[in-house]
A and B are shown apart, each in its own frame.
Chain A
Amino acid sequence: MKVGIPRGLLFYHYYPMWRVFLEEIGAEVIASPPTSKEILDLGTENSQDDVCLPVKIFFGHTVYLADKKVDYLFIPRIVAVEKEAYTCPKFLGLPDVIRSTLSDIPPVIDATVNVKKKDKSPLRAAIEIGRKFGVPLNTIRSAYENSCQALWEYRRLMLKGLTPDEAIDALFSGKKVEKKESGDIKIGVVGHPYNVYDRFSTLDMLGKLKNMGAEVITGEMIRQEDIEHHAEFLPKRLFWSYERDIVGSAFYLIHTKKVDGIINVVSFECGPDSLITELIQSEARRQGNFPIMVITLDEHTGEAGLLTRLEAFVDMLRMRKR
């Protein structure tokens, strides 16, 4: 049984967990390859105009997997991952949007995770999926526990400074963890992992920054306690979990001055980003005009324009430091 996991959206949050779980209940997991021009084109052709870039990319990965004749597509409905918040509305409707927009796709595994409800906990979702394939309860339970282990390990590796790709490599193919190089300036890159770490849609922004001699710190390299603590500075509790993490990490970097400047990566038309970017910028202004640059991604983002802006930002930070 082949289960396809599209390399987009929450892939960057949970892939190791999903993979370990599915493999232990006897599935063969196939992740789509990193985003490419071909995948983006598949996505833009097959999705509605108004969805955001990451969703278009997700569509591309899904179509790619469907063409590869997997038996199932793994697109769970992640509604809430903490009691007091939801995820972005697009995750609430994602399996439905996929099913109604794409015809002729393999069946979708769309178990719901909503920790606000007792019967929709991640474990319950795991059991629901396992039962579907006739896996005994004991196996499901141990698979679930191991998958949680994998998730913690994944997060621990990212805290050490690995990108999700590097962490996944380290977890599954046992590649050695490379020591992080340091640069003369530090730049915080905050935004949704599915934007920040997609090397195609960001035109390898992280790599470009490293080449310019900057050390990059992303939200995943910041401890959750620090994020939580600094998110408390928001005027009102933010009701989107992942976005709250982004604001928390941005505030942490601004307040502690751990970096020389911040790049906020957002995608065109992103609903939550439209509000949190405003909050982050406003906080940066209030904290003595802390350097911040907002990069908006869409399917037309051009390499030259991006490079110029990155260079200007890095130069500016260097000048300030002198």
Chain B
Amino acid sequence: MKVTFPHMGNLWLGLKTALQELGHEVIVPPKPSKRTLTLGSQYSPEFACLPLKINLGCFLEAIEQGADTIIMAGGVGPCRFGYYGAVQKRILEDLGYDVDFLIFDPPQGRWREFINDLKRVGNGRPLYKIFSALLFGIKKLEIMDDLEKLGHKIKAREINKGDTMHILEKTLHRLDDASSYKEIKRIKKEAIEELLSVPRKNIDPIRVAVTGEIFVVLEPFVNMEVENELGKMDVEVERTLYITDWVKEHLVPSLRGIRKHKLLEEMAKPYLGHFVGGDGQLSVASAVIYARKGFQGMVHLMPFTCMPEIIAQSILPRVSKDLSFPVLTLVFDEHTGKAGVLTRLEAFVDLLRRKREVVRV
């Protein structure tokens, strides 16, 4: 069984680690590229959202490399993502590929199937082994998330643009090779030291929140490296969602998670009184939260035709007006060009700078 899975930011690091711990042969699909997108959009429904197309492209590229089993998360709506697996399976079947899909839906009373699938992933190992493998994978992701959070602060201030990026990429690969908790702890420590020794300017950067649909936010190839580009403009970015938040929210329900959720609902309520699937409510809540935190603005990322984010996009102008908090919505599809995104980002950052100066004067 050669296992593969779709890309979403650094997710591969955690999944690869966990699956290898369980003794699987893992085929990580090549990083999403123009080719992935072309392959994916060729066989996807025209108005499917970008994540589905990239997913499918990833699968096709992984199959080329010999993958025969695909692991995928499911869902019960109302976001389309929950039905991806079923549709992608059908598309691959119609194309004549013979691959197995392991789709993990929330069990909802169908525990036997869920456990069966889990056992297949477990490769004959006991349940606690599966969990410890998962935890190790999540730990690596957590470290990467922490480093990226720190990285956002450094990126805005670094003198040689690209230093931070370089360290983060190097660390990602070191984490990939690491096989013990001790090792990853050391890697984290070293990476933090390295990040802190990056030569920096002494400035007070503009602060911008980046939010939106999780896949587009987390996948730099898709969002034209928005975070990096903002960093290059000396802007400090704070991302509203991280991969470990997502994984934890879906795997280990915690009191903290529930509280956070309640807070988000509370913040969004005056504008959006109900969840709308995906990350739509988060996007609206983020505008309120980051306006209060004193950020200068927010960049809202979404795939073309994304249903929950279209709702957020329709509501954000009102939030923005009420709180006098600039929000830039960027919509991504297979035809999005980097130059266009850059121009809009530059104009947006200019606007934020002017606005701050005016307020200060």
Chain A residues with CB under 8 Å of chain B are: 47-48, 50-51, 77, 79, 84-90, 92-93, 95-97, 100-101, 110, 112, 234-236, 238-240, 268-275, 277-279, 282, 285
Encoded as 1 (CB less than 8 Å from any A CB) or 0, chain B from 55 to 67 comes to: 0000000000000
**Least Cβ–Cβ distance between A254 and chain B, in angstroms:** 15
**Least Cβ–Cβ distance between A10 and chain B, in angstroms:** 15
Let me know if B86 and A93 touch, CB within 8 A: no
- The residue that A235 contacts in the complex, of B47, B89, B272, B304, with Cβ under 8 A, is B89
Given known pairs A89-B277, A279-B87, A279-B90, the reply for A100 and B271 (CB within 8 Å) is yes
- The residue that B85 contacts in the complex, of A79, A236, A269, A274, with Cβ under 8 A, is A236
Let me know if B85 and A100 touch, CB within 8 A: no
Given known pairs A51-B310, A92-B277, A96-B315, the reply for A270 and B94 (CB within 8 Å) is no
Let me know if B90 and A269 touch, CB within 8 A: no
Q: What is the chain B residue whose CB lies nearest that of A47?
A: B314
User: Which range holds the interface residue count of chain B?
Assistant: 35 or more
Given known pairs A270-B47, A271-B306, the reply for A89 and B87 (CB within 8 Å) is no
B83 within 8 A of partner (CB): yes
Let me know if A101 and B311 touch, CB within 8 A: no
Let me know if A93 and B77 touch, CB within 8 A: no
Going nearest first, the 6 A-B pairs with the smallest beta carbon separation are A239-B77, A100-B318, A274-B47, A93-B311, A86-B78, A271-B307
Let me know if B317 and A100 touch, CB within 8 A: yes
- The residue that A275 contacts in the complex, of B87, B105, B331, with Cβ under 8 A, is B87
Given known pairs A101-B318, A268-B47, A271-B49, the reply for A89 and B82 (CB within 8 Å) is no
- The residue that B80 contacts in the complex, of A90, A100, A235, A275, with Cβ under 8 A, is A275
Let me know if B315 and A93 touch, CB within 8 A: yes
Tell me which residues across on chain A come within 8 A of B278, comparing CB atoms: 89
**Least Cβ–Cβ distance between B77 and chain A, in angstroms:** 3
Tell me which residues across on chain A come within 8 A of B272, comparing CB atoms: 93, 96
Number of inter-chain CB pairs below 8 Å: 129
Docked CA distance A68–B306 (Å): 33
Tell me which residues across on chain B come within 8 A of A95, comparing CB atoms: 273
Let me know if A275 and B274 touch, CB within 8 A: no
Let me know if A88 and B85 touch, CB within 8 A: no
Q: What is the chain A residue whose CB lies nearest that of B306?
A: A271
Let me know if A96 and B78 touch, CB within 8 A: no
- The residue that A92 contacts in the complex, of B89, B91, B276, with Cβ under 8 A, is B276
Interchain residue pairs with CB less than 8 A apart (22): A50-B304, A89-B308, A90-B310, A92-B275, A92-B276, A92-B277, A92-B311, A93-B314, A100-B319, A101-B314, A112-B274, A240-B77, A271-B305, A272-B80, A272-B307, A274-B45, A274-B80, A274-B305, A275-B80, A278-B48, A279-B90, A282-B90
B345 within 8 A of partner (CB): no
Docked CA distance A256–B87 (Å): 23
Encoded as 1 (CB less than 8 Å from any A CB) or 0, chain B from 275 to 308 comes to: 1111010000000000000000000000011111
B264 within 8 A of partner (CB): no
**Least Cβ–Cβ distance between A31 and chain B, in angstroms:** 24
**Least Cβ–Cβ distance between B114 and chain A, in angstroms:** 14
Task: Among A90, A236, A270, A272, find the residue whose CB has the most chain B CB atoms closer than 10 A.
Answer: A236
Task: Among B74, B77, B80, B277, find the residue whose CB has the most chain A CB atoms closer than 10 A.
Answer: B77
- The residue that A88 contacts in the complex, of B78, B83, B306, with Cβ under 8 A, is B78
